[in-house]
Amino acid sequence: MSSDDAPRRPHAVLIPQPAQGHVTPMLHLAKALHAKGFHITYVNSEYNHRRLLRSRGPDSLAGADGFCFEAVPDGLPPSDNDDVTQDIAALCLSTTEHSAAPFRDLLARLNARPGSRAPAVSCVIADGVMSFAQRVAEEMGILALVFWTTSACGFMGYLHFAELIRRGYVPLKDESDLTNGYLDTAIDWIPGMPGMRLKDIPSFIRTTDRDDVMLNFDGGEAQNARKARGVILNTYDALEQGVVDALRREFPRVYTVGPLAAFANAARGGELDAIGGNLWKEDTSCLRWLDTQRPGSVVYVNFGSITVMTPAQLTEFAWGLAGCGRPFLWIIRPDLVSGENAMLPEEFVTDTKEGGVLASWCPQELVLSHPSVGLFLTHCGWNSTLESICSGVPMLCWPFFAEQPTNCRYVCAKWGIGMEIDSDVRREEVARLVREAMDDESGKARRVKAMVWKEKAKEAVEEGGSSRKNLDRLVEFLLAGNDDFQAESA
């Protein structure tokens, strides 16, 4: 047998949606599969490939043994600024239209490398909103699964866009429905999600246009998951048990393997340690400042990679933090304010220089797990929410869009570990809620519950835990399922 014929090592190709929030969990999954013996090809967009090289250094995408990086174009025209989050709607439509052919060429090239040490591609794992990759893989006779990087409840919300339209809840009849109480309408019929309101459904339903791009795109991509050979979710069973059970009644294979960061971290100590997914350069000096603060005293503020706000909202948050009387660490991306650079009032910067630290980006997992951090003011993106849960840190929630309102509802009403700030943010409310969360008896109760969910997350990834079992099941299926799929396709 020649050396080219020898390896039966499975080869997984993973392709994340290029928006920042999707990149890191897919990378964690890639590392977890690599630790299980898989050869990995990780496919960034060309735009993100360039950003990673800038933020992490020229050798950051050199890869490692059995772990390679590739890139495909997203089809969008060149940008004046190659270091900002791209328009989500435009990105979704463009990748759907323009990325399929380059991805097909990439798979063909990976399978045709003469004398290569890489085995033939055995499976493709595509982000849930990159169904073109799922379709291309199936057409080429390659096993395809989808990874929805949302919460399970967020995914279930997207799955029911079509039913909300059919029942006449969506689109809204008039713009006034956004403010007249209509969004408080009870939605009590989604399986596994009792006590929901229309405002708790992913925000793309908040439109008067039946042809709205994101309403149709995300609703359609969720339905496409039904064609995949399996659905992977970055959550753990105990956290979203009712929703996960309902999804398992609808899909033959649902793999809840979260928190994936725990599996990726468990594989540390090798050459993959240098591989990261942050698209902005991380400022680690804030960790040294946290070392000087009292345990549980700091408010950590980060609205993620996509949220944008008005200059007025930025000002209200600033003076709310100044007035809360607590030290804070605030991450302010350059593009946090829509259409312009985020500029804080000079008086605010002067008044808070002793008690506040501002940074452009940071290693969030390390910040949240630092003993000085006692509260997380967040947009409730799923990565941030899960990282906060895994660190036992309660949350103040200001959801911006997509499934963030769904996550917020679960954080506040289901898990009891957070409070919501009104979208029309006011400095007095920010200051009051911070003090309540950190000092009142209700705040102490939320901290206790947060620690309970942290322990449950640890249990899920330990030997015998639900997520560890599900990761093993996923690996078994990727190995056996490919052979079955090849037999079906023959």
Inter-CA distances, 56 with 50, 53, 222, 241, Å = 10, 5, 33, 37
Task: Annotate 245-298 with three-state secondary structure.
Answer: HHHHHHCCCEEECCCHHHHHHHCCCCHHHHCCCCCCCCCCHHHHHHHCCCCCCE
Both tokens of 434, joined, read: 């911070």
Per-residue pLDDT of the chain (490 residues), as tens digits, is 334 444 468 999 999 988 765 678 999 999 999 999 999 999 999 888 887 777 666 666 667 789 999 999 988 888 766 666 678 889 899 999 999 999 999 999 999 875 567 789 999 999 999 999 999 999 999 999 999 999 999 999 999 999 999 999 999 999 999 999 999 999 999 999 999 999 999 999 999 999 999 999 999 999 999 999 999 999 999 999 999 999 999 999 999 999 999 998 887 767 777 676 565 677 889 999 999 999 999 999 999 888 889 999 999 999 999 999 999 999 998 778 876 677 888 999 899 988 999 998 899 999 999 999 999 999 999 999 999 999 999 999 999 999 999 999 999 999 999 999 998 999 999 999 999 999 999 999 999 999 999 999 999 999 999 999 999 999 999 998 666 655 555 5
What is the 3-state secondary structure of 81-99?
Answer: CCCCCCCHHHHHHHHHHHC
Give, in order, the Cα–Cα distances in Å from 96 to each of 72, 131, 214. 12, 8, 13
Distance CA 69, CA 67 (A): 7
Compute the C-alpha angle 243/202/181, nearest 5°. Answer: 110
Q: Which of 128, 163, 130, 160 is nearest to 243 (CA)?
A: 160
* Whole-number pLDDT of residue 89: 87
Specify the 3-state DSSP secondary structure of 40.
strand
What's the burial of 426, exposed, middle or buried (CB within 10 Å: 0-12/13-18/19+)?
middle
Rounded to 5°, angle at Cα 116 from 112 and 118:
90
**What's the CATH number for 11-154+213-277+462-480?**
3.40.50.2000
For residue 487, what pLDDT is reported? 56
pLDDT of residue 77: 85
Write down the pLDDT at residue 380. 97
pLDDT at res. 3:
43
Look up tokens 């468990």; give the residue: 266
> Which one from 22, 160, 370, 379 is the annotated catalytic residue?
22
Residue 232: phi and psi, rounded to 5, are -105, 135
Q: The tokens 């997520």 sit on which residue?
A: 467
d(Cα 435, Cα 363) in Å, to the nearest integer?
A: 26
The CA angle 17-310-374, to the nearest 5 degrees, is 75
Q: Which CATH superfamily is domain 284-439 in?
A: Glycogen Phosphorylase B; (3.40.50.2000)
Domain with CATH 3.40.50.2000 in the chain: 11-154+213-277+462-480, 284-439
Q: What is the DSSP letter of 64?
A: B
Q: How many residues does the chain have?
A: 490
Residue from 127, 218, 237, 335 carrying the catalytic annotation:
127
Q: Tell me if residue 127 is catalytic.
A: yes
Tell me the C-alpha distance between 268 and 343, whole Å. 38
User: pTM, whole model, 2 decimals?
Assistant: 0.94
The alpha carbon of residue 51 and the mean position of all alpha carbons in its chain are separated, in whole angstroms, by 18
Strand-strand pairing, 39-45 and 186-187? unpaired
Query: Which of 316, 321, 283 is CA-nearest to residue 55?
Result: 283
| pLDDT at site 52 | 77
Quick check: 237 and 459 in contact, CB under 8 A? no
- Annotation marks residue 283 as catalytic: no
Of the candidates 28, 19, 29, 77, the residue with the CA atom closest to the CA atom of residue 51: 19
pLDDT at 296: 97
